[in-house]
Amino acid sequence: MSAHDLLMRRALKLAENSFYISDPNPRVGCVIARDGAIIAEGWTQRAGEAHAEIHALQKIDFTCVDADIYVSLEPCSHIGRTGPCVDAIISARPSRVFIAMRDPNPVVNGVGIQKLRSAGIEVVENVCAVESACLNPGFIRRMNGGRPYVRAKIAATLDGKTATQNGKSQWITGHDARADVHKWRARSSVMLTGIGTLLADNPRLNARLDADALQPDKVIVDSKLRTPQTARIFDDDSRVVVATTTQENRNGSLSAEVINCGDGPRVNLDRLVDWFTKQNYNEVFVEAGNILTGAFLEKGLIDELIIYLAPQVMGDVGRGMFGIEGITSLDQVRKFEFSDIRRIGADVRLICVPIDTGIEK
Ligand SMILES: NC(=O)c1ccc[n+]([C@@H]2O[C@H](COP(=O)([O-])OP(=O)(O)OC[C@H]3O[C@@H](n4cnc5c(N)ncnc54)[C@H](OP(=O)(O)O)[C@@H]3O)[C@@H](O)[C@H]2O)c1
C-alpha cells in the first residue's frame, strides 16, 4: 500500500467520527500532511457547521503551503449552509489534493476538482474510492436520484426465531449486541417499525449511546391508526410520524404527524419509501416484526440485513424472520451474500446484502 493510500485510509477512519452527527450531509474525513507527516485532521461536523476540510484547516490557521490534502469526498464548490470548501483550500495553497471520490451531488460533481485545477493545484482522484463509497451509501443513492438505503435488523435464535408464538422477544440477544444496535440507530436518518412491534414491545426506538449523536426520526407503519398516544416512542423530542391509510387521524386525537400512504387495506410501502426520499433521508433502519420485515423483503426494498444470532434454540413454534409466502422451489429463494461476520459479545452479527432480489428497484 502506498503512503498516499495510508493517509487516505486515515481520512476514511476520521470520517467515521461523523457517523452520528453529519446527517443529511455525507461523512467525510480529511488529513493534511507535509512530507508525509500529518499536520492537521478533520471530519464533517453537524449540518451547517464545518465540513471536514474546514475542520482540518482551522487547526493550521487556514495555511498549508506545499502540503498535501487527503479528503474522502470531493470538496464542495457551492454555497450551501456553509461556504465552498474549494475556496478555503485554494487560499491555503497546498500543492496537491488527493480525493477518494467525486461528490455525487449534481451541483458539485467535478466542479470542485475543476476549480482546484484551474487554481494550479494538482488533483489526484480515485484514491480508495470503493472504501469512501461504503461510508455514504444512502447519501450517494439520494444524490443519484434514488431512494434511501434501507437496512433491516433482526435479532434471532440459532434456529432463526425472532419471538415466541405469543409475541415475546425481549431479549433474545445480549447486552453487547443491543448496544451495537444503538450505533446503527444513531447513524440512521429514520427508524421504521410496524404497529405489531409497537403494541407488543412498546419500544422507544431512540439511539442510546455514550457519544454525541443526532436522534433519528421515527416512523410507525399503522394502517388503522391504532398507535396509542401513551406509547413510549413519543417520550422524547424527536419527530414521530405515523404512516397510515386514513387521513382522519381519529378526529385529531392522536397528537402525532400522520401521513396517508394508503390506496388499499394496508400502508403502501412504495409510497412510504417515496415519502422517505422526499424527506431527504439517507439511511432507513427497519426494526419490525416478521410481517413488516417480510413485506419489505418481498418488495425488494432491503439493501442490507443485519442479523444478530444468539446461541439459543426456540423450536419450530417460534416466529421466523420474514413473513413471506409462496416460495415453493429453491430457485425462488431470496439470495444474499455475507459482507461481514463477527462476534458481538455472546452473539454473532451477520451483515448480508442481496445479490438477486428478482425485483426491479
Ligand atoms: N427479534 C427481533 O429482531 C424483533 C424486532 C421487532 C419485533 N419483534 C417481535 O415481532 C413481533 C411483532 O411482529 P409483527 O410481525 O406482528 O409486527 P410488525 O412487523 O412490527 O408490524 C406488522 C403490522 O404492520 C402493519 N402494516 C401496515 N402496512 C403493512 C404492509 N404493507 N405490510 C406489512 N405490514 C403492514 C400491519 O398492521 P395493520 O394492518 O394494522 O397496519 C401488520 O400487522 C413482536 O413479538 C415483537 O416482539 C422482534
Could you tell me what percent of the chain has a pLDDT over 70? 96
Do residue 88 and residue 225 come from a single domain? no
State the Cα–Cα distance between residues 347 and 81, nearest whole angstrom.
42
H helices, E strands: number in the chain: 11, 14
Domain assignment present for 361? no
Asked if the model's pLDDT at residue 80 lies above 90, the reply is no
Domain assignment present for 164? yes
Q: Write down the catalytic residue from 41, 49, 53, 248.
A: 53
Do residue 52 and residue 13 come from a single domain? yes
Domain assignment present for 226? yes
Do residue 94 and residue 111 come from a single domain? yes
pTM: 0.94
Minimum CA distance residue for ligand 1 atom 17: 196
Question: Best of 166, 197, 305 to mutate for ligand 1, by most ligand atoms within 8 A of CB?
Answer: 197
For residue range 6-51, list pLDDT tens digits in order. 999 999 999 999 999 999 999 999 999 999 999 999 999 999 999 9
Coil, helix or strand at residue 217:
strand
User: Which residues are CB-neighbours of 85 under 8 A, at least 6 positions away?
Assistant: 51, 53, 54, 75, 76, 77, 112
Average pLDDT over residues 303-311: 98
Span of 153-167, 236-250, 329-343 with lowest mean pLDDT: 236-250
Do residue 130 and residue 166 come from a single domain? no
pLDDT value of position 218: 98
pLDDT value of position 359: 40
Sign of the torsion angle spanned by Cα atoms 181, 183, 188, 189? positive
Domain boundary among 140, 171, 203: 140
For the sheet containing 68-71, what is the strand order?
37-43, 29-34, 68-71, 96-99, 122-124
Domain boundary among 140, 170, 194: 140
Asked if the model's pLDDT at residue 304 lies above 80, the reply is yes
Active-site residue 53, yes or no? Answer: yes
The number of folded domains in the chain is 2
Which of 92, 91, 73, 65 lies closest to 26 in space, CA to CA? 73
Distance in Å, CA 161 to ligand 1 centroid: 14
Span of 220-224, 244-248, 334-338 with lowest mean pLDDT: 244-248
Distance in Å, CA 291 to ligand 1 centroid: 5
With residues binned 3-state (H G I as helix, E B as strand, rest as coil), the percentages for the chain, rounded to 5, are 30, 25, 45
* Residues having CB within 6 Å of any atom of ligand 1: 154-155, 162-163, 167, 169, 172, 193-197, 200-201, 221-224, 266-267, 269, 287-292, 295
Q: Which domain holds residue 33?
A: 3-140
pLDDT value of position 360: 40
Average pLDDT over residues 78-92: 85
State the Cα–Cα distance between residues 64 and 179, nearest whole angstrom.
41
Average pLDDT over residues 335-355: 97
Do residue 200 and residue 233 come from a single domain? yes
CATH number for the domain that contains residue 105: 3.40.140.10
Average pLDDT over residues 337-360: 87
For residue range 91-121, list pLDDT tens digits in order. 999 999 999 999 999 988 999 999 999 999 9
Distance in Å, CA 54 to ligand 1 centroid: 44
Do residue 204 and residue 186 come from a single domain? yes
CATH number for the domain that contains residue 231: 3.40.430.10
